[in-house]
Amino acid sequence: MRILLVEDEPTLRTQLALALQAAGYAVDEVDNGLDALHLGQTEPFDAVVLDLGLPQLDGLSVLRRWREEGHAMPVLILTARDHWHDKVAGIDAGADDYLTKPFHGEELLARLRALIRRASGLASPLLRCGPLSLDTRSGRVTVGDEPVNLTSHEYKVLAYLMHRPGAVVSRSELTEHIYAQDHDRDSNTIEVFVARLRRKLPAELIETVRGLGYRLVPTP
* Position with higher pLDDT, 128 vs 85: 128
The total number of structural domains in the chain stands at: 2
Residues 137, 125: Cα–Cα separation, whole Å: 7
Q: Is the pLDDT of residue 189 over 90?
A: no
Band of pLDDT at residue 81, cut at 50, 70 and 90: low
Mean pLDDT along residues 159-180: 91
- Predicted local distance difference test score (pLDDT) of residue 206: 93
- Predicted local distance difference test score (pLDDT) of residue 70: 96
Q: Which domain holds residue 165?
A: 126-216
Q: What is the pLDDT of residues 22-41, one digit of tens each?
A: 999 999 999 999 999 999 99
* Residues 6+ away with beta carbon under 8 Å from 7: 13, 16, 29, 31, 49, 51, 78
Mean pLDDT along residues 1-20: 96
CATH code assigned at 50:
3.40.50.2300
Q: Check whether residue 58 and residue 97 sit in a common domain.
A: yes
- Predicted local distance difference test score (pLDDT) of residue 184: 62
Q: Check whether residue 141 and residue 113 sit in a common domain.
A: no
Measure Cα distances from 189 to 32, 68, 173, 185, 206 in Å: 32, 36, 13, 9, 16
Contact (Cβ atoms closer than 8 angstroms) between residue 111 and residue 49: no
Tell me the whole-structure pTM to 2 decimals.
Answer: 0.89
Band of pLDDT at residue 183, cut at 50, 70 and 90: low
Q: Check whether residue 12 and residue 109 sit in a common domain.
A: yes
Q: Check whether residue 196 and residue 101 sit in a common domain.
A: no
Band of pLDDT at residue 101, cut at 50, 70 and 90: confident
Percent of the chain with pLDDT over 70: 95
Residue where one domain finishes, among candidates 104, 119, 134: 119
Residues 133, 145: Cα–Cα separation, whole Å: 9
Contact (Cβ atoms closer than 8 angstroms) between residue 120 and residue 163: yes
Q: Check whether residue 114 and residue 137 sit in a common domain.
A: no
Question: CA quadruple 183, 189, 191, 193: dihedral positive or negative?
Answer: negative
* Position with higher pLDDT, 182 vs 62: 62
- Predicted local distance difference test score (pLDDT) of residue 188: 75
Q: Check whether residue 12 and residue 93 sit in a common domain.
A: yes
Q: Check whether residue 146 and residue 198 sit in a common domain.
A: yes
Q: Is the pLDDT of residue 56 over 90?
A: yes
Mean pLDDT along residues 81-85: 70
Residue where one domain finishes, among candidates 77, 101, 119: 119
Residue 77: which region, alpha, beta or left (left: phi > 0; alpha: psi -120 to 50)?
Answer: beta
